[in-house]
Amino acid sequence: MRALFALLLAFALTARANPDHLEERINLARSAPPEIAADALLKIAAGAPRDDRKALIEEAFQLGSLASQAYPDIAIAGTPPDTRPIYRSHASRLGLDALTLRSRAVAAMLETDRDRARMMFQTIPPPPAAKPECKDSLVPDFDAYYQLATRIAQTAFTARERREQEDFAFLLNLVRSASSELAWAPLAQAVVAMQPASGQAELLVATLASRLEQISSGDRLFSHHAGAMRDALDALIAFSRGRGIGVQGLVQSFATYLRAHQRGERCSDSPEAAALLEWYNNELRGDAPPVEAVRPAGIGKPEVEAYFESAEALRFAAAARQLRFDGQGRVLTLAQRQSPEWKRAFTDFLKDFAGWTTSGEKNEITDFHQKAILLEALFELAPPGPERDKLASAAVRHLSNATIQRQIAGEWMWHARAFLQAARTAPEVRALLAAYRESGHIALYLIAVLEPEAN
């Protein structure tokens, strides 16, 4: 391991000597975990000569399929902070999952080769028919995939292909496979955005109505996507009326969807569906019977993995709070944080922190997140000078020594960027980026040379 690290460090130093050399950056990216490598190659491709761009996008597309996370996850409302679901959700915003990375690659290829982009899209496995349970605090997010599908339908077909209705067939096939709110809402919006011809529009609307009656994803998705479903249905109804397409069947299908949910089990922490029911009963149903509200007993709450539960973690969290707040819970002033007493307490904390082992924690992931959370919180408030420099060094060590980086690459990357966001001024950001660049760690080096803050 020491020999490998020394080799990578030497490679990083070589690349650093030629920061604008395309091949050096490409080779360095290939040494990173798959999702970080794919992300880096897509960024490199954006500024690469046209001859190299297509090959880089293709490579990123293939690497994206190896990402440790299959698709993005979003934490449901009310998920407590400092829990694993929250950090999974944070990490999902970076788009380092397989579905989003491959969608990003296809989107990039659309600018270079539309035919190849369509072929690549067809090889992406369709998002699964997700049905999260009440015990789940995360729900999937397939928006990037369906936004890409909309863009392909609108831009990736030639005039001849449009005359032959290939764009319509492409979208119709997707609509026919919609099996949950995750697909139905964005595809309804896609139909509106595409503005198909009258005959095509009628068939697409009828198919969406039929698929709506088949959705039974459970209360978790129903509650999370209630707003998106209303917005999509509202837009689809307005579009249909504008084209002279009758909407009675669509409204009836929505009533069937609502009744199926009312008969199903509810998660005890889910919000009531009163607003959606009221909208249907008061504005949509016309002469049809109303959908009656049913309130069955709740069947469970999410099982959340919380942080800072071990005695050691609680001790460090308490010590970090004393460095941030006074006895009345007020944030310490800059003058207080520059006092000799505070600096001594801060130095003692970092010394103690360096000896914090994983022995009392649930697993390495818990240990990694807890330490990163505390370092980020202190980094935001540490005054400029030696104390802030020490925190930056501690942050780089923590990120560099994380043996679970490949296991949770997205979450690792989120913390690496969170430290940059905690830096208050442009000089501090540049100093931290320099520390990333000098670390000898492949992924940190890539952040330093490819992130927007670095340019």
Domain boundary among 125, 141, 174: 125
Q: Quick one: 168 exposed, middle or buried, by C-beta within 10 A (0-12, 13-18, 19+)?
A: buried
DSSP per-residue string spanning 364-393: HHHHHHHHHHHHHHHHHHPPTTHHHHHHHH
Asked if residue 106 has pLDDT above 90, the reply is: yes
pLDDT digits (tens, 9 = 90+) for 73-87: 999 988 999 999 999
Same domain, 203 and 325: no
With tokens 């600018």, the residue in question is 111
With H, G, I as helix, E, B as strand and everything else as coil, classify residue 403.
coil
Give CA angle at 363 (357, 368), nearest 5°. Answer: 65
Asked if residue 360 has pLDDT above 80, the reply is: no
- Which domain range does residue 371 map to? 312-454
CA distance linking residue 263 with residue 155, whole number of Å: 42
Mean pLDDT, to the nearest integer, of 65-76?
95
Asked if residue 268 has pLDDT above 90, the reply is: no
In a domain, 7, yes or no: no
For 30, residues 6+ apart whose C-beta sits below 8 A from its C-beta are 37, 41
Whole-number pLDDT of residue 300: 77
Same domain, 281 and 382: no
In a domain, 371, yes or no: yes
DSSP H/E element including 138: strand 138-140
Whole-number pLDDT of residue 455: 45
The structural domain count of the chain equals 3
Enter the tokens of residue 382. 């540490």
Question: Are 219 and 213 within 8 A, CB to CB?
Answer: no
CA distance linking residue 446 with residue 65, whole number of Å: 20
Domain boundary among 249, 271, 300: 300
In a domain, 4, yes or no: no
Same domain, 166 and 68: no
Asked if residue 351 has pLDDT above 60, the reply is: yes
